[in-house]
Structure 1
Amino acid sequence: MDITISADGSRIAYEPVGSGPAVILIGGAFNDRAALAGLAHALAAGGHRAIAYDRRGRGDSTDNAVRFDPAREIEDLAALIEAAGGRASLFGHSSGGVLAIAAALHGLPVTTLMVSEPPYAVDGARPIPPRGVSARIEALAAKDDRDGAAALFLQEQALIPAEAVSRMRDSPIWAAMTALAHSLPYDLAVCGPDLALSDDLHDIGIPTLAVSGDRTQPWLTVAAKAVATAVPGARHISIPGEDHGILRRPENLAPILTDFLRPNAH
Structure 2
Amino acid sequence: MSEFVTTSNGDRVAYDRRGDGPALIFVAGAGPWREIDPDTTRTAELLAERGVTTIVYDRVGRGESATGGVITLERELAAIEALIGVVGGRAALCGHSSGCSISLRAAVDGLPVAALALWEAPLAPPNSGAREWADEVNRWIDAGENAAALDEYMKDMPPEILDVVRSIPAMVEQAPSLRPDGESLAWAESAPHAQLFGGIRVPVLTMVGEATYDIMTPAAESITAAIPGASWKPMPGSEHSWEPEAMAAELAAFVHATHAADPAASATTATITATATN
The TM-score bracket by the shorter chain reads 0.7 to 0.9
- 1:202-252 residue CA offsets vs partner (Å, 9 max, x unmatched): 211111100011211111221122111211111101114533122xx3223
1:263 aligns with 2:257: yes
The structure where helix makes up a greater share of residues is 2
Partner Cα distance (2:189, 2:92) in 1: 24
Partner Cα distance (1:256, 1:4) in 2: 28
Q: What SS does the aligned partner of 2:121 have?
A: coil
Q: What SS does the aligned partner of 2:17 have?
A: strand
Q: What SS does the aligned partner of 1:12 have?
A: strand
Q: Give the partner amino acid of 1:147.
A: A
Give the equivalent residue in structure 2 for 1:120.
Answer: 123
Q: Give the partner amino acid of 1:187.
A: D
Q: What SS does the aligned partner of 1:238 have?
A: strand
Q: What SS does the aligned partner of 1:192 have?
A: helix
The change in CA–CA distance for 1:143 and 1:235 in structure 2 (over 3 A counts) is: same
Partner Cα distance (1:134, 1:200) in 2: 18
Q: Where does the alignment leave 5 or more consecutive residues of structure 2 unmatched?
A: 262-278
- 1:43-68 residue CA offsets vs partner (Å, 9 max, x unmatched): 1122111100111111111446x544
Give the equivalent residue in structure 1 for 2:175.
Answer: 181
Partner Cα distance (2:187, 2:124) in 1: 10
1:215 aligns with 2:211: yes
Q: Give the partner amino acid of 2:116.
A: L
Give the equivalent residue in structure 1 for 2:12.
Answer: 11
Percent identity, aligned pairs only, is 31
Among 157, 160, 176, the residue aligned to 2:157:
160
Q: Give the partner amino acid of 1:40.
A: A
Q: Give the partner amino acid of 1:263.
A: A
Segment of structure 1 superposing worse, 185-194 or 18-27? 185-194
Q: What SS does the aligned partner of 2:111 have?
A: coil
Give the equivalent residue in structure 1 for 2:26.
Answer: 25
1:234 aligns with 2:230: yes
Partner Cα distance (2:6, 2:74) in 1: 15
Q: What SS does the aligned partner of 2:65 have?
A: coil
Q: Where does the alignment leave 5 or more consecutive residues of structure 1 unmatched?
A: none
Deviation of 1:143 (Å): 4.9
Partner Cα distance (2:152, 2:256) in 1: 41
- 1:61-112 residue CA offsets vs partner (Å, 9 max, x unmatched): 1446x54432222221111111111111111111111111111111111111
Residues 126 and 189 in structure 2, CA contact (< 8 A), matched pair in contact too: no
Q: What SS does the aligned partner of 2:254 have?
A: helix
Residues 71 and 176 in structure 2, CA contact (< 8 A), matched pair in contact too: no
Q: How many residues align?
A: 254
| TM-score, normalised relative to structure 2 | 0.81
1:254 aligns with 2:248: yes
